[in-house]
Amino acid sequence: MTATLYHAPLTCSLAARIAAAEGNVPLNIEYLNLRTKELENGGSLYDVNPLGQVSTLKLDNNEIITETSTTILWLQSQSKDPNFHISPSSPEFYQMARWVAFCATELHKQIFRVVFYPEATDEVKDRVRDLAPLRFEVLNKHLSDKPYLLGDHFTAADAYLTWFFVLSKNAQLDPSTYEHLVAYQERTLNRPLIRELIESDRAKDKAMNQQIIPE
């Protein structure tokens, strides 16, 4: 089954692209501008997802899956790579789901959602940024004896956390004092498939004048 991802460059749907690439899962890409909701090939994201949000995944049978956490879990379920696919019957599955949820709630929605919200005041954004150190400490301790969130292999949870570090600098979040987290960031962002996707998304963001990362 080949699904279609409605993808706004550099946004959280990049986590889904990373999961698909690392899991060697075929994925069609339908580009859109998140600021206007316009699809590159015509139409609107609202036609697919009434909330107008990514990540949005359309399956071959026309079923729709929304929420980044769910889309990356679905994508990993389709992977044939034994180092990437984790069966729901495995205890590791719930550890993966734990860290996917951590990225979704503690980092993405609790911090990014406010910091990148244009109507939020600088004071509010700074108070939200103050939440980051404790979360960085949790991650740093967890990664002190392992290269990836679940151990030796990159998983769907790492796809979500890697995306967070694509935009963390633009959110004025600095993990540089957390040794193991810095090593993790460098390790994941320099994986060849991920580096290629980031470069491609940066170019597409600029070409579409979406300006997720303003110049």
Peptide bond into 55 cis (omega under 30): yes
Pinpoint the residues of the chain covered by CATH 1.20.1050.10. 91-191
> For the segment 162-210, what is each residue's pLDDT rounded down to a tens digit?
999 999 999 999 999 999 999 999 999 999 999 999 999 999 999 998 8
User: What local confidence, expressed as pLDDT, does residue 18 receive?
Assistant: 98
- According to CATH, the superfamily of the domain at 3-82+194-207 is Glutaredoxin (3.40.30.10)
pTM of the predicted model as reported, rounded to 2 decimal places: 0.95
The CATH number assigned to the domain with range 91-191 reads 1.20.1050.10
Instruction: Give the span between the Cα atoms of 205 and 9, in whole angstroms.
Output: 5
Query: Is pLDDT at 215 greater than 60 in this prediction?
Result: no
User: What local confidence, expressed as pLDDT, does residue 100 receive?
Assistant: 98
User: What local confidence, expressed as pLDDT, does residue 214 receive?
Assistant: 59
| Percentage of the chain exceeding pLDDT 90 | 92
Instruction: Give the span between the Cα atoms of 165 and 145, in whole angstroms.
Output: 20
Pinpoint the residues of the chain covered by CATH 3.40.30.10. 3-82+194-207
Amino acid (1-letter code) at residue 154:
F
Q: Please list, in sequence order, all residues whose beta carbon lies within 8 angstroms of the beta carbon of residue 213, skipping any fewer than 6 positions away.
A: 10, 167, 170, 202, 205
